[in-house]
């Protein structure tokens, strides 16, 4: 490993150390919550805690360093029923492509669908008869390089957009990550990722304008006043994780993992999980995550995070032929327990070429 790589890791660790740790007093001050919504079922089944061993397209959500750890090409389509009962869904598509022997480039697109919301006004609180639907989306492009198959690093840029017809907010954020593997069979894996670091976002548009009447002598003049909305930060997060693969008899594998998440705008989180794999054809996984404390205000209901608790999932990974290295099509499913509503369900279709 060359000196420049050591320098990169040292600088990354230093930058990570400067990120503000969990701060419940700032909860609710950040925006763009969709940046923390995982649309991919395989990692969602582990509560998005596989920072150390996530690979391919899903690495663009958790740790971009894992993007390069794919054989050649990977395509994923993801759909989730967010907080079942709210009518909110997410849809995502991602592509990762190997470049040369040790590098990879990836792109991902994610959108939220809120359905049709009834439009109301001050004078028509019961509804105007028309509907609208907010537009939330983000687009990411990332690059990752693997050094001697031991250390991989990556960086990702993401454009974020939110809005309705006449009010929008846009922003750009960056992710960076490192993964390290060691052991006789590369059993032990360690990962660090720093996500959603960027400037502030602010809503702008004609929807923030209002016409008012100014009295002048014997008449009134109408003028348009532009209201300025308060800018907000994005959900910056630091993840530190590790995992270990236990190889059992009959081509089976049992992986244990643990992960620590430092949230800049809420409590820090800690969790662990297990994944069992039979010949990489069928997988079962489960994880549990908890907060270091619950945020509560006097006279209000305890506001612990949505996803404190259990997550579980399964994968069916089907090769297209018996040849070694043949393309595979995988179906992933995940369920995450939530404090309110009936949980979040994720389904993904993954194609490895």
Per-residue pLDDT reduced to its tens digit, 191-227: 999 999 998 999 998 888 877 777 766 677 777 778 8
For the domain bounded by 3-352, which CATH number is listed?
2.40.160.60
- The band of 61, judged by pLDDT with boundaries at 50, 70 and 90, is very high
At residue 133, the 3 state secondary structure works out as coil
pLDDT at 189 exceeding the cut of 50: yes
Tell whether the torsion through CA atoms of 74, 110, 231 and 26 is positive or negative: negative
pTM, full prediction: 0.86
Number of residues that make up the chain: 353
To 5 degrees, how large is the angle CA 347–CA 283–CA 242? Answer: 95
**Whole-number Å distance between alpha carbons of 189 and 53:** 6
Residue boundaries of the structural domains of the chain: 3-352
pLDDT at 9 exceeding the cut of 80: no
Per-residue pLDDT reduced to its tens digit, 84-142: 888 899 999 999 999 998 999 999 999 999 988 888 888 888 888 888 889 999 999 99
101: Cβ–Cβ under 8 A, 6 or more apart, which residues? none
**Whole-number Å distance between alpha carbons of 248 and 185:** 13
């Amino acid at each position: 490993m060359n000196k420049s790589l050591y320098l990169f890791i040292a600088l990354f660790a230093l930058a990570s150390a400067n990120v503000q740790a969990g701060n419940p007093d700032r909860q609710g001050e950040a925006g763009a919550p969709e940046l923390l919504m995982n649309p991919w079922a395989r990692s969602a089944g582990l509560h998005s805690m596989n920072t150390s061993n996530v690979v391919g397209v899903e690495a663009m959500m958790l740790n971009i360093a894992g993007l390069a750890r794919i054989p050649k090409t990977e395509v994923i389509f993801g759909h989730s029923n967010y907080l079942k009962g709210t009518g909110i869904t997410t849809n995502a598509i991602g592509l990762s492509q190997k470049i040369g022997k040790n590098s990879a480039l990836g792109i991902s697109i994610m959108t939220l669908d809120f359905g049709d919301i009834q439009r109301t006004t001050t004078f028509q609180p019961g509804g105007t008869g028309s509907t609208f639907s907010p537009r939330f989306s983000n687009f990411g492009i990332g690059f990752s390089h693997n050094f001697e198959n031991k250390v991989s690093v990556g960086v990702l840029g993401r454009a974020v957009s939110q809005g309705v017809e006449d009010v929008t907010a846009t922003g750009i954020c960056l992710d960076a990550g490192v993964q390290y593997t060691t052991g006789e069979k590369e059993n032990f894996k360690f990962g660090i990722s720093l996500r959603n670091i960027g400037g502030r976002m602010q809503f702008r548009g004609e929807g923030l304008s209002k016409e008012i009447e100014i009295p002048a002598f014997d008449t009134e003049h109408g003028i348009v006043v532009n209201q300025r909305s308060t800018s907000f930060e994005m959900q910056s997060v630091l993840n530190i994780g590790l995992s270990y693969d236990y190889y059992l008899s009959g081509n089976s594998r049992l992986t244990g993992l643990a992960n620590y998440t430092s949230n800049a705008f809420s409590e820090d989180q800690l969790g662990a999980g297990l994944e069992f794999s039979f010949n990489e054809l069928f997988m079962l996984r489960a994880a549990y995550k908890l907060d270091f404390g619950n945020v509560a205000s006097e006279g209000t209901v305890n506001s612990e995070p949505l996803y404190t608790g259990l997550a579980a999932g399964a994968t069916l990974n089907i090769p297209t032929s018996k040849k070694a290295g043949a393309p595979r099509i995988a179906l992933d499913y995940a369920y995450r327990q939530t404090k309110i509503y009936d949980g979040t369900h994720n389904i993904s279709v993954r194609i490895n070429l």
